[in-house]
Structure formats: C-alpha cells, structure tokens
Amino acid sequence: MSKRIAIVEDEAAIRENYAAAFRREGYSVELYDARKPAMEAFDARLPDLVVIDINLKDDVEGGFELCRNLRSRASDLPIIFLTARDSEFDAVSGLRLGADDYLTKDISLPHLMARIAALFRRLDAMQKPQGEESRIRRGNVELDIERMTVRWDDKPVGLTLTEFWMVHALARYPGHVKNRQQLMDAAQAVLDDNTITSHVKRIRRKFVAVDPDFAAIETVYGMGYRWLSD
C-alpha cells in the first residue's frame, strides 16, 4: 500500500504540480486548498506525511495552526513546511512547532522527492531495532545514518533533515573544510550563503543546548566550516 501524502497548498498550479510529481513516485496524494477541509479530512484519517504551506489563502498563519494541531495528535507524523516565506523568523517558528523540515519553494522537485523519501526512510528505521552498522562515531558525536539522528555524549540532539545532512557532511571527515557549496549539496537544497550561516548557527545552538562547551564546528573564514574532533 502506497504512502499517503497530504498537500495543503492554496495555489492550485503548484498543488497540482507537486501532486503529479508525488504520484509519479508512487505515493497517493490528497490535496487541500485550505485549513478547514484539511482538518476535517485529517480528523477522519491521518496521512503518512503532510506538506503544508504557511500562507493559506486569507488564512495568513493557517499552516502554523495546522502544524500545531497535527503535532498534538501525532508526535511522529512527518510534517514539512513548503513555503514562499524565507524569513529566518518563519523558519524558526515553523520548526519550533515540530515540523521536520522547513523548505522554501526554491527547492527543486527532485530534491523535494529525496527529502520525502528520506523522511519515510527514517520513519521506517525508527520502527526497526537500531542497527550498529548504520552508525558513525567521531569523538563525542554519534550519527545514525538510518534514523538520521545525532547524539552528542550519548544525548540526543534534535536536528531537522537539512541540519542532519550538514552535520553528517562535516563530521564524517573531521578536519576537512567543507565550503558552502558542498554543504548545500549535502543538504540537497538550493540555499544561499545567509541561509547556510543561519543553519550552522542553529546547529551550533542545538549542540550547545546539550553541551555548553560544544565547539566542534569551526568557521574557517572565507572558506567554510570544519568539524573538529578531539
């Protein structure tokens, strides 16, 4: 049985385009153009993954509302924000509400597909017992490639998919400088410099929340970042 993806998007053309792409990948797709019909449908049955636009017609923050509502009902339901709003503030708000990823509409369809696939893969991996072989350990950090989770000093660090891929790219070869383009490719996203800067900043903050002395990500001025392994 194919995975069911719900798309809540008020722009019909985009909605249909995404739907076509998802269907081509074998997913079944449910389309909603506003919060209310979506909520009614979700009350009846939750989909396997939800792609939400923040701005839903006149409902400016409708996507956030929807996300909060869904998260309260299903803690492990993958939720992706796909929006035209690229401000840092919106991204932080969206992720705080429990979204698994916050994507701007710049993202190409193949990249989007990769992310969706990754999310489903993670969901599947979560249900399987943890496999040692999928883990990489570099000093204090431990990456679980299958589940796409990170542990620092054996404490979990909650990263989004993009953040995980960036940490993965850095920590895999400690000491190597990864430039912005490389990080962008790793995260499978078209990101500008500032967005990468904000991502790195957010990642650091998440690690610092676990370990106040965290300093493993070093900025190499003018070049990029590298993972320091002690």
Q: Are 226 and 218 in contact (CB under 8 A)?
A: yes
Question: Which of residues 40, 61, 88, 153 is near other proteins by CB under 8 A?
Answer: 88
To the nearest whole angstrom, how small is the minimum distance from the Cβ of residue 192 to other proteins? 5
The residues near 46 (Cβ < 8 Å, ≥ 6 apart) are 70, 73, 74, 77
Question: Which of residues 117, 136, 215, 223 is near other proteins by CB under 8 A?
Answer: 223
To the nearest whole angstrom, how small is the minimum distance from the Cβ of residue 107 to other proteins? 9
**Binding pattern to other proteins, positions 101-120, x when CB under 8 A?**
---xxx-xxx----------
User: How many other β-carbons are positioned within 10 Å of the β-carbon of residue 62?
Assistant: 22
Residue 85 binds other proteins, judged by CB under 8 A: yes
Gap between the Cα atoms of 202 and 153, Å rounded: 19
To the nearest whole angstrom, how small is the minimum distance from the Cβ of residue 93 to other proteins? 13
Residues contacting other proteins: total by CB under 8 A:
33
To the nearest whole angstrom, how small is the minimum distance from the Cβ of residue 75 to other proteins? 28
Residue 93 binds other proteins, judged by CB under 8 A: no
Q: Are 37 and 6 in contact (CB under 8 A)?
A: no
Alpha-carbon separation of residue 161 from 50, 133, 170 (angstroms): 15, 20, 14
DSSP string, 160-183: -HHHHHHHHHHHHSTT-EEEHHHH
**Binding pattern to other proteins, positions 191-220, x when CB under 8 A?**
-xxxx-xx--x-----------------xx
Please say which residue, 113 or 126, places its beta carbon nearer to other proteins. Answer: 113
The residues near 146 (Cβ < 8 Å, ≥ 6 apart) are 121, 122, 125, 128, 131, 134
Site residues for other proteins per CB under 8 A: 11, 13-14, 17-18, 20-21, 24, 84-89, 104-106, 108-110, 190, 192-195, 197-198, 201, 219-223
